[in-house]
């Protein structure tokens, strides 16, 4: 007999606070639908008081989802709670998530409040949130560095005021697993009414211990885990959903707790997050990294051929990776394409499928075989980025050892075509100089990296850039068989993300 742990995903809120990982409303909606398909119990859709854009995204997500709870984050202020409720009020299962710091260092230097004032603020906020919905979560920011007795007292007061979930965050990734486990046990033993609420944990990965701390907490009695896809988030990130879920799945002999996650949707969801945010999953990332199921050493390969379990503790099919991939090419039809996109987690409308199919045929004329990575690029560019301000219409570059690099560019800017030409130290420099001139932007290129999506000389090249302008940082990602074109697409994608950030200024980033 196993207990059930609630999976609370905050990719759309805490995950989006990764530097440069902004998402537009369409991208957030697509990801929210996929998270519900994954089986996530609670989706923290955003921080509605942070910006109008965040509020509108949460509002749309709340109106769309039917199975997952939709949570809106709020500080312990009536204005924040009003804003959160306004955004989630139409959700089938709404949750208000309110928080305040409880550690002395935060009280003294950030809040400038006494413990009694924090306690009163907690009670007032939870009671006010409770007037809108019975589903209220309270978080004690920087809980792992808070006084244990004060933390227990705050949780007791929050539960008495109506909180149905109390969350213990390791906000700065300071805890050690054994220490964090003892803290969870202490809270359970010293909070008299803890049985009336679910005890949650929210761990950051500053010391690389987020998953270990979360599992230690679950083993000690916590029954909600706050996580993100691919572990994205502020600084070093959050606990990875895929790591926690697959640890519970693989080590059920030790961790007698299950989740409601459909593990076959883990890999498609991971890829979707990477494509939307532009944050590349490191090859050696646990569970979803490119090398997670790769075996190069001869002795490993020999063992795998005899029995896969010699070197694989999980089957790749369990997370949605299949060795039997449908091969698509220029003769493939709409039905085959739709079927394969569905297995990848993309449920497209007829209109969207027609758009993707047209681009698919275009790419298929250049490549003999189309792979999943190619399709992800097509869906991202043609479906998820429909609200872009800047779009590439034409690029022509001349470069070589005996000519001055020059780029001719034609862009669509808010429905209007503009064109121009410019020079540079190389083809990329010339292209970027011309695009910057046409768009009137002054961003600084912080990073430029190139990779190939697949093997072979006809593979699509993938470029990732990091741009900074007026203190704002955005990631851009582009792919194309021509690497110069891929670089142009990445740059334009980054500029579009910067424009989104300019139009949706965040009042104050919230981190637990």
CB 234 within 8 A of CB 16: no
Beta strands, E only, 424-507: 444-452, 461-469, 472-480
- Cα torsion angle, 165, 76, 173, 230, sign: positive
Round to whole Å and give the CA distance between 138 and 160: 12
For 171-183, the pLDDT digits (tens) are 999 999 999 999 9
User: Which band of pLDDT confidence, cut at 50, 70 and 90, is reported for residue 301?
Assistant: very low
When pLDDT is cut at 50, 70 and 90, the band that residue 305 belongs to is: low
Name the least confident of 203-217, 334-348, 472-486: 334-348
Residues near 364 by beta carbon (within 8 Å), at least 6 away in sequence: 328, 329, 330, 332, 370
Predicted pLDDT of residue 503 = 83
pLDDT in tens, 56-110: 999 999 999 999 999 999 999 999 999 999 999 999 999 999 999 999 999 999 9
Judge whether 306 lies within some domain.
no
Provide the 3-class DSSP secondary structure of residue 176. coil
Question: Is there a domain that residue 313 lies in?
Answer: no
Domain count, the chain: 3
* Between 7 and 22, the higher pLDDT residue: 7
- Looking at per-residue confidence, does 332 or 140 come out higher? 140
Position 385 confidence tier, pLDDT thresholds 50, 70, 90 = low
- Element (H or E) spanning 29, and its range? helix 25-38
- Domain C-terminal end among 337, 370, 403: 370
The helix-helix angle for 177-190 and 148-161 (nearest 10°) equals 50
For the cut 50, the answer to whether the pLDDT of residue 304 exceeds it is no
477 and 462 Cβ atoms separated by less than 8 Å: yes
Q: Determine, yes or no, domain membership for 92.
A: yes
Same domain, 419 and 338: no
Which of the four pLDDT bands, split at 50, 70 and 90, describes residue 295? low
Task: Say if residue 35 is in the same domain as residue 138.
Answer: yes
Query: Three-class SS of residue 401?
Result: coil
How many percent of the chain have pLDDT more than 70?
93
Residue 252 lies in a domain: yes
Gap between the Cα atoms of 459 and 470, Å rounded: 36
Residues 133 and 263 in one domain: yes
pLDDT of residue 1: 43
Q: Among the listed ranges 138-142, 321-325, 343-347, which one has the minimum average pLDDT value?
A: 321-325
Residues 107, 227, single domain; the answer is: yes
pTM for the structure as a whole? 0.88
* 347 and 414 part of one domain: no
Task: Look at residue 147 and tell me whether its pLDDT is greater than 80.
Answer: yes
Could you tell me the residue range of the domain that residue 9 belongs to? Answer: 3-277
Domain match, 207 and 160 both: yes
- 273 and 354 both lie in a single domain: no
- Of 63-72, 201-210, 376-385, 408-417, give the lowest mean pLDDT range: 376-385
CATH of the domain at 41: 3.20.20.70
| Rounded (5°) CA angle 61-66-72 | 40
How far apart CA 461 and CA 485 sit, in angstroms, is 9
Which span out of 39-43, 341-345, 481-485 was modeled with the highest average pLDDT? 39-43
Beta carbons within 8 Å of 447's beta carbon, 6+ residues apart? 464, 465, 466
Q: Rounded distance, CA 193 to CA 200, Å?
A: 15
Average pLDDT, the chain: 91
Q: Give yes or no: residues 428 and 359 share one domain.
A: no
Express as a percent the part of the chain with pLDDT over 90: 69
Q: Is the pLDDT of residue 417 over 80?
A: yes
Taking residues 456-460, report their average pLDDT: 77
Contact 146, 108 (CB under 8 A): no
Angle 92-93-98 from CA coordinates, rounded to 5°? 135
- Residue that finishes a domain, picked among 245, 277, 309: 277
Which CATH number does the domain housing residue 431 bear? 3.30.160.270
**180 vs 381, residue with greater confidence:** 180
Residue 331 lies in a domain: yes
In this structure, the answer to whether residues 202 and 242 fall within a common structural domain is: yes
CA distance 71 to 65: 12
- Residue 315 belongs to some domain of the structure: no
Q: Which of the listed residues 340, 370, 400 is the one where a domain comes to its end?
A: 370
Task: Evaluate if residue 308 carries a pLDDT over 80.
Answer: no
* pLDDT value of residue 380: 78
In a shared domain, residues 255 and 359:
no
Q: Are 42 and 68 in contact (CB under 8 A)?
A: yes
Given this model, what pLDDT does residue 508 score?
A: 60
Residue 351 has pLDDT above 70, yes or no: yes
> Do 46 and 164 fall within a single domain?
yes
Question: 452 lies in a domain?
Answer: yes
Q: What is the pLDDT of residues 386-414, one digit of tens each?
A: 668 999 999 999 999 999 999 999 999 99
Same domain (yes/no): 207, 182? yes
* 509 occurs within a structural domain: no
């Amino acid at each position: 007999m196993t207990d059930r742990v609630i999976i609370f995903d905050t990719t759309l809120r805490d995950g989006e606070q990764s530097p440069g990982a902004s998402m537009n409303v369409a991208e957030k909606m697509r990801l929210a639908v996929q998270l519900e398909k994954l089986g996530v119990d609670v989706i923290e859709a955003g921080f509605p008081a942070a910006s109008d854009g965040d509020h509108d995204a949460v509002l749309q997500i709340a109106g769309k989802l039917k199975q997952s709870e939709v949570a809106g984050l709020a500080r312990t202020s009536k204005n924040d709670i009003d804003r959160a409720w306004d955004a989630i009020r139409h959700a089938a299962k709404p949750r208000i998530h309110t928080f305040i710091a409880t550690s002395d260092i935060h009280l003294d230097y950030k809040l400038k409040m006494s413990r009694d004032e924090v306690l009163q603020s907690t009670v007032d906020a939870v009671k006010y949130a409770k007037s809108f919905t019975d589903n209220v979560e309270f978080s004690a920011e920087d809980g792992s560095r808070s006084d244990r007795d004060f933390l227990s007292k705050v949780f007791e007061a929050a539960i008495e005021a109506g909180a149905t979930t109390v969350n213990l965050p390791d906000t700065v990734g300071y805890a050690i697993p054994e220490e964090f486990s003892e803290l969870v046990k202490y809270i359970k033993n010293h909070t008299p009414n803890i049985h009336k609420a679910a005890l949650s944990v929210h761990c950051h990965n500053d010391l690389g211990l987020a998953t270990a701390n979360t599992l230690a907490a679950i083993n000690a009695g916590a029954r909600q885990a706050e996580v993100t896809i691919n572990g994205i988030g502020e600084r070093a990130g959050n606990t990875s959903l895929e790591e926690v879920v697959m640890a519970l799945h693989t080590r059920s002999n030790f961790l007698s707790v299950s989740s409601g996650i459909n593990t076959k949707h883990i890999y498609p969801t991971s890829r979707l997050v990477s494509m939307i945010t532009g944050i590349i999953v490191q090859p050696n990332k646990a569970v979803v990294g490119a090398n997670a199921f790769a075996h190069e050493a001869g002795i490993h390969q020999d063992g795998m051929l005899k029995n896969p379990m010699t070197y694989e503790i999980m089957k790749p099919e369990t997370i949605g990776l299949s060795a039997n991939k449908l091969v698509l090419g220029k003769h493939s039809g709409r039905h085959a394409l739709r079927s394969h996109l569905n297995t990848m987690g993309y449920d497209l409308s007829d209109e969207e499928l027609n758009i993707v199919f047209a681009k698919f045929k275009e790419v298929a004329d250049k490549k003999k075989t189309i792979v999943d990575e190619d399709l992800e690029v097509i869906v991202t560019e043609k479906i998820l980025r429909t609200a872009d301000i800047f779009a590439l219409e034409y690029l022509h570059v001349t470069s070589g050892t005996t000519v001055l690099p020059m780029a001719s560019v034609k862009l669509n800017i808010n429905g209007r075509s503009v064109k121009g030409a410019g020079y540079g130290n190389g083809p990329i420099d010339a292209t970027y100089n011309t695009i910057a001139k046409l768009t009137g932007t002054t961003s600084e290129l912080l990073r430029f990296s190139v990779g190939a999506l697949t093997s072979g000389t006809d593979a699509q090249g993938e470029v990732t850039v990091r741009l900074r302008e007026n203190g704002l940082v955005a990631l851009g990602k582009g792919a194309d068989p021509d690497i110069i074109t891929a670089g142009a697409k990445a740059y334009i994608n980054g500029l579009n993300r910067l424009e989104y950030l300019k139009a949706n200024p965040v009042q104050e980033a919230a981190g637990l």
